[in-house]
Amino acid sequence: MDRSCPGADNVKIPELEIRECPKCGGEVEFFTRDKKSTCADCGEVVFREAGPSCIDWCPVASTCFPGLVKEKAAQKK
């Protein structure tokens, strides 16, 4: 039986999210791991509010995403 972490799906398979640009009202595209994106209409850099992911709270996240766990740990320093 192939078991995988259901919380990891949004990191392994990025999902597209469309948000409204606060400057011009155009569409801004974000993928799951994007922290910021640029509006194609006006060039405004739009930041996404970060929410917790399994990488933040799962005790075995390093087995699924060893590079990301190390990267996040380095960012906190």
Q: Say how many domains are in the chain.
A: 1
What domain range is 31 assigned to? 6-76
Supply 62's token pair: 């390093």
The percentage of the chain sitting over the pLDDT mark of 90, rounded to a whole number, equals 31
Residue 11 included in any domain: yes
1: in domain: no
pLDDT bucket at 23, cuts 50 / 70 / 90:
very high
Give pTM, 2 decimals: 0.52
Q: Which spans in the chain are helix H?
A: 9-12, 54-57, 61-64, 66-76
Q: Of 39, 59, 58, 36, which Cα lies nearest the Cα of 48?
A: 36
| 18 in a structural domain | yes
CA distance 2 to 30: 30
* 30-49 confidence digits (pLDDT tens): 987 788 999 999 999 999 87
Q: What is the mean pLDDT of the chain?
A: 79
**Separation between Cα atoms, residue 5 and residue 58, nearest integer Å:** 10
Question: What is the pLDDT, as a whole number, of residue 1?
Answer: 36
